[in-house]
Amino acid sequence: MTIIRIKVYSGDITKVKCQAIVNAANTSLMGGGGVDGAIHRAGGSKILEECRKIKASQGGCKVGHAVITTSGNLDAEKVIHTVGPVWSGKGDEKELLRRCYKSIFKLAVVNGITEIAIPNISTGIYKFPKDIAAEIAICEAKGFIKCNKTFHQIIFVCFDRENYRIYKEILGDID
């Protein structure tokens, strides 16, 4: 029996060694600020080349969806790019964020990925409330691993202390 773990890590997602890392991308897939910019800078031109091909073939990536590319110079095999929703509090942002996680996990399964590192999607410049985003992320991760016994590890990588504390509290894993 495989042990499935959910971990919380505080730090830079571009330094995490695992099969795949997730990029909180924008719809153009051409890089940007925050996690997206950091992944593109650290991964190098190969990621951007593949993102350009995806953009040319399907016009980018829609909110709530995900695409997969090489990892370039990163210590991961693949990068799964997902586009989270911008928070307004008036629409279907929660459902769109849930779709991001479902899309991430679906691509992981299709590509034989059994360990993945995921940042705090939409909680930076997209202003999604950190506590709500963490609840959604953890709920979707737990639901996914219940149905996928071959999956080994999900690492939530928190860049800031507030997200780290929230994830630890929700998981009951207080330092």
C-alpha distances out from residue 83 to 1, 75, 80, 161, 175, Å: 34, 22, 10, 23, 31
CA pseudo-torsion sign 8, 12, 13, 19:
negative
The rounded distance, in Å, linking the Cα atoms of 146 and 18 is 21
For residue 147 the two structure tokens come to: 């149905």
Tell me the three state secondary structure of residue 14: helix
Task: Choose, from 36, 131, 173, 175, the residue flagged as catalytic.
Answer: 36
| 36 belongs to the catalytic site | yes
Torsion sign across C-alpha atoms 7, 136, 109, 111: negative
Catalytic positions, written as ranges: 36
